[in-house]
Structure 1
Amino acid sequence: MASIPTADAEQTFEIISSLRYDPSLPQATLYNSDSYPDPQNSPYYLLAYHRDRLVAAARHFGWENASKWLQQDLSSFERFLDESIPDRSKPWRLRIVVDINGKGSVDVNPTAAFDPFNLLTPSLHAGRPSHLWRPTLPSGFTTHKTTARNDYTAARLRAGITSPAETSEVLVINPRGEIMEGSITTPYFRRRGPISRLSGQDSAEPAWITPPLSSGGNAGTSRRYALSQGFCVEEVIPQLDLVDGEECWLSNGVRGFMLGVVVLGRQAEKQI
């Protein structure tokens, strides 16, 4: 099992957050104003959460200049992002990069258009079809998203995944045998027993669980959104509890929520 990079191993790194720009997003949030965080008229998916995530990372690493720059108001932050959009009529995948000095930059790449309702929590999909994804040492570099991602990239390559656009994923396991996260997503699984150990919900009611941050995974923006809307609760998910062929959900800040199916065995990369 490869180790997660440490500050000593990575002489220089930057903090990052990836999000979606989609001009159709305000159409979906307009009709679900009670279940989507402000600003609701923004084409940037979960904008405030991405800004908060970067602030948390800057504070964790003691980057005062970066923290100060990131705490600008959301309108100013959105204008900063606007400068990078080549064509505002199309969706884009943005990668925000901030260095220790508080210098921000944005990498922009085309991304596929899809139903904007996929960006809302699954409880709001109202039966809409989704694409199937096949899911295959905790530190500050796993809790916070940075450019130090060589081990995540290696895990994806071992599973034959070469592009963020592919509909496959791998799951990251910590040394205790707990699911941490996906390599680029947050996973959600059905309750592992008759009554969810933490939620206490009755078995007759649907419930989804996601790994707690104590398992070492990333504090993702779509994860925060799912928790805030009551779609899921946090619960430790042992690797051995996974069931081949069971449905799960996956989410990230670019593609929203995607329905997946667990594939166990040699095809599935379960550890980095």
Structure 2
Amino acid sequence: MSFSLISSLRYDPALPAAVSQLAINTYPDPVDTPYYLLAYHRDRLITAAQHFQWEKALAWLQQDLRTLNQFLDASIPDTHKPWRLRIAVNHNGNGTVDVHPTAPIDPSNLLVPSVNATPDSAVWRVYVDTQATTPSGLTTHKTTSRDAYNAARLRAEIKSPADTAEVLVVNPEGEIMEGSITTPYFRRRDTGVSGPSWVTPPLDSGGNAGTTRRYALFQGFCVEQTISAAELANGEECWLSNGVRGFIRGVIVLDR
């Protein structure tokens, strides 16, 4: 196979204390690990291996969380600093970890915004892609085959992973699928219905089943709702999230 299954996550030594102080009863187990949403990352990779019928990869991924934690520990250069990790598993069941420095953040930004009401993160510019992306197994599951996402970022003139900008990927029906590196959350359109104030695109629209997306849904921060790109308004506030940066405020930019 020409691609590997991947999942990107944050190692942050400050995370366990933040969970203990702010979300001990709501953060998913294990609560004492510095690896952000560790169990969700393993589950995501297992689901991808099942989809692609990679039996050897599935056998490697079905190790217990303690073993996975120890496997990741071996790759951490300095346990006192935060790191961005990318777990990759090929069809032969060979797992590797790439580790890169990442900027420190307030660890409460890793918790759902209902817990963290006043995040200190910068507001990201959020563009809408000008071309459609066809959903497939390579959009539903995160892999190293990311040409569609890279092309969307180029069209939005996002030139670096360090840019505080994101582009929303759109399917041929004009529905928002996801962000190129994040899950988006929008203000609820059917305001007369009780429940969370935020919505995120359903997987039926073609996007990825992200780990922070699962966390936000589980915590009741949002519900699923189909979002048409045509519904978005210039200057509209939104949220973004991923497994390295946590939850980030955004603003829709339609007119450049």
Same fold (TM over 0.5): yes
Counterparts of residues 77-96 of structure 1 (less than 5 Å): 77-96=68-87
Structure 2 distance, partners of 1:93, 1:162, is 19
- Aligned AA (2:103): A
Q: Which residue among 232, 249, 253 is the counterpart of 1:259?
A: 249
Q: Where does residue 227 of structure 2 map in the other structure?
A: 237
Conservation of the 8 A alpha-carbon contact between 1:222 and 1:251: yes
Residues 136-158 of structure 1 show CA distances to partners (whole Å, capped at 9, x for unaligned) of: 11111001000000121121122
Counterparts of residues 161-180 of structure 1 (less than 5 Å): 161-180=158-177
Structure 1 distance, partners of 2:61, 2:38, is 12
Structure 2 distance, partners of 1:84, 1:181, is 30
Q: Where does residue 270 of structure 1 map in the other structure?
A: none
Conservation of the 8 A alpha-carbon contact between 2:113 and 2:221: yes
Q: Where does residue 34 of structure 1 map in the other structure?
A: 25
Counterparts of residues 39-188 of structure 1 (less than 5 Å): 39-136=30-127, 137-188=134-185
Q: Where does residue 130 of structure 2 map in the other structure?
A: none
Structure 2 distance, partners of 1:77, 1:129, is 31
- Provide runs of 4+ in structure 1 moved above 6 Å: none
Alpha-carbon distance, 1:206 to partner: 5.6
Query: Is 1:212 aligned with 2:202?
Result: yes
Structure 2 distance, partners of 1:243, 1:15, is 35
Alpha-carbon distance, 1:131 to partner: 1.4
Select between 152-161 and 211-220 the one with higher mean Cα deviation. Answer: 152-161
Conservation of the 8 A alpha-carbon contact between 1:212 and 1:235: yes
Q: Where does residue 190 of structure 1 map in the other structure?
A: 187
Alpha-carbon distance, 1:163 to partner: 2.2
Alpha-carbon distance, 1:101 to partner: 0.8
Structure 2 distance, partners of 1:228, 1:126, is 18
CA root-mean-square deviation: 1.1
Alpha-carbon distance, 1:256 to partner: 0.2
* Percent of aligned positions that are identical: 65
Residues 35-81 of structure 1 show CA distances to partners (whole Å, capped at 9, x for unaligned) of: 10000010000000000000000000000011011010000001111
Q: State TM-score, norm by structure 1.
A: 0.89
Structure 2 distance, partners of 1:236, 1:132, is 24
- Aligned AA (1:173): V
Q: State TM-score, norm by structure 2.
A: 0.95
Conservation of the 8 A alpha-carbon contact between 2:106 and 2:120: no
Structure 2 unaligned residues grouped into runs of 5+: 128-133
Q: Where does residue 4 of structure 1 map in the other structure?
A: none
Alpha-carbon distance, 1:27 to partner: 1.1
Conservation of the 8 A alpha-carbon contact between 1:98 and 1:105: yes
- Aligned AA (2:148): D
